[in-house]
Amino acid sequence: MNEILEKLPMPSEKRIAMHLSPQAEHAVRKRHPWVFRKGVASQSAEGSPGDLAVLFDRKREFLGIGLYDPDELIRVRVLQFGKQMPVDAAFFEGRLRKAAEQRLSLLRRDTNAYRVVNGENDLLPGLIIDRYAETAVIKIYTPAWIPHLKDIVNGLDKVMSPENIVLRLSNSIQSRPEYAHGLTNGISLKGSCETVVFKENGILFEADPVNGQKTGFFLDQRDNRSRAEALAEGKTVLNVFSYTGGFSIYAARGGALSVASLDISKPAIEAAKRNFELNRENNKIASAEKEFIAEDAFEALSGMYKAGRAFDMVIIDPPSFAKKQADVKNALSAYARLVKMGLNVLNPGGTFIMASCSSRISPEMFFTTVGRAASETGRRLNEIEKTAHALDHPVKFEEGRYLKCLFSTAL
């Protein structure tokens, strides 16, 4: 066992008995996985991140058990609803095994990268595990996981024995090093943390588990990338917010004549070039004309419009614009601006694909904003399909439903 894990605090024996407000009680009964600070009516003791909070209703009946975090707005992340079981190594192994089994069918699709654990939606709240071939990347969003990390790593070893395990820490943990117990973002918990090559629907990509965005790749867009591939034949394609070229390479394999990848991140654009290169044996991917642009999307789109450039397919998959509730209004206007700028460089009858990954923007708000912005430019979007997450990103509660994507023909 890695000595870093040996040095971490052990899970505490302490249990914090917690009584909830009627509203919070109602939410937990409906299996909402979060208890907010204001939902705690009383608690038997103070605690440290990772202590277990046992939740009771007004009649002192057991409601659930969860991971306590004294400093976060989300005070408790629920691990068990209704029925009490010990929270120990065997419990975590069981949860991991169940999550892994649900993803087995993906492996048959010439794919060896997928989300093994999707946090709350796999009843392991605040914990993400993505697998890229033989490398597993664990990302934790609360220090409450740190005392339980050894159980997670051991469980993962038993369930899928990855050669390498890398740990990523959320910004909020990185900003509270006193809780990190020496763990740092990108640290190796097993094997190496080198860049890894994996396969998604037969296409090779690299992921850098240490410096890459999120855990190294955006696995949630896998099915949407396939849909773009199916629409790309014979088209000139612009992929805005391309990251490492995911949609671009699928479009090329789908028979696109040319593919331009645009992202503000130079390392992402360099990785996109390498990803194309990794797939040079595929004739279509090799023969599509390629262009790589490391620039701000808004500036580049406006420059292309001024230069009179236009494409047959425009894909826009921006980062989350609404990190907090107060950002929602600005986010909606940024989406509207992008729709207009994207349509400015799309030929009549072209394919327009637009995604949003902000959980605070509901599908309804998003699709309405996109449609309205299009009509303000005098174009109409004929819907082909509206989609959400891929199979390995199950959604079990409202806030988990972040991804939406519109496929349309712009008249």
Nearest distance, CB of residue 138 and ligand SAH, angstroms: 20
Nearest distance, CB of residue 357 and ligand SAH, angstroms: 7
Amino acid identity at 308 = G
Helices (H), 183-316: 222-231, 246-253, 266-278, 283-287, 297-306
Nearer to ligand SAH by C-beta: 101 or 299?
299
17 vs 24: CA distance, rounded Å = 15
Nearer to ligand SAH by C-beta: 183 or 219?
219
Nearer to ligand SAH by C-beta: 165 or 219?
219
Nearest distance, CB of residue 162 and ligand SAH, angstroms: 22
Nearer to ligand SAH by C-beta: 100 or 231?
231
Q: Which is nearest to 221 in space by CA: 85, 24, 402, 19?
A: 402
Amino acid identity at 89 = A
Nearest distance, CB of residue 227 and ligand SAH, angstroms: 12
Q: What does the block give as tokens for 347?
A: 């030929």
Nearer to ligand SAH by C-beta: 203 or 268?
268
371 vs 378: CA distance, rounded Å = 11
Nearest distance, CB of residue 28 and ligand SAH, angstroms: 33
Q: Which is nearest to 42 in space by CA: 75, 18, 73?
A: 18
Amino acid identity at 15 = R
Three-state secondary structure call for residue 294: strand
Nearer to ligand SAH by C-beta: 144 or 316?
316
Query: Which residue is nearest to ligand SAH, using beta carbons?
Result: 246
Nearest distance, CB of residue 317 and ligand SAH, angstroms: 4
Backbone angles phi, psi at 268, to 5 degrees: -65, -40
Q: Which residues contribute to the site for ligand SAH (CB under 6 A)?
A: 213, 218, 221, 241-243, 246-247, 263-265, 268, 296-297, 317-319
Q: Count CB neighbours of 163 within 10 A.
A: 12
233 vs 315: CA distance, rounded Å = 15
Nearer to ligand SAH by C-beta: 319 or 394?
319
Enumerate the β-bridge partners of residue 382. 409
Largest CA distance in the chain: 69
The answer to whether 136 touches 149, Cβ cutoff 8 Å, is no
Nearest distance, CB of residue 218 and ligand SAH, angstroms: 4
